[in-house]
Amino acid sequence: MLKKIPKILSPDLVQALMKMGHGDEIVLADANFPGHSLHDNVIRYDGFGIPPLLDAILELLPLDPYAEHQAALMSVVPGDPVVPTVWDTYRDIVAKHDDTAKLAFEERFAFYERAKNAYLVVMTGEEALYGNIILKKGVIKT
């Protein structure tokens, strides 16, 4: 055990966060996301929802202030009546850690393409529809 590292973060995830560089992206994927078919670098977090994991990751991960948007959500498919209330939770968590961060919305297949280029996909047990979020890593300012 180490001090100040949130207990929800596994050694594998902390190692992956450490290996990420400026501009690299991490996908926190809901339980329906096709993570393994899109990416080879996948860490499983079955049984965990995204909100506590997002909060813990943002304790360690700086967001990229130079990017137009520091995080991205998957847009609702046109015609789908779902209203993703989890987005409000994500906005609150991101704002808690970076009150200047902006969130973008990506069309479903554009989100998948972006996920293919991410450093890592974290597959969670999140059951909220459209519960996926991509974070862009920034730099530590001294």
Show which residues are catalytic.
22, 64, 112
Looking up tokens 């966060």 gives 17
Torsion of CA 48, 56, 111, 47, to 10 degrees: -10
| Burial class of residue 115 in the structure, from the number of CB atoms within 10 Å of its CB (0-12 exposed, 13-18 middle, 19+ buried) | buried
Looking up tokens 């860490």 gives 43
| Burial class of residue 98 in the structure, from the number of CB atoms within 10 Å of its CB (0-12 exposed, 13-18 middle, 19+ buried) | middle
Tokens of 99: 């009150």
SS3 130: coil
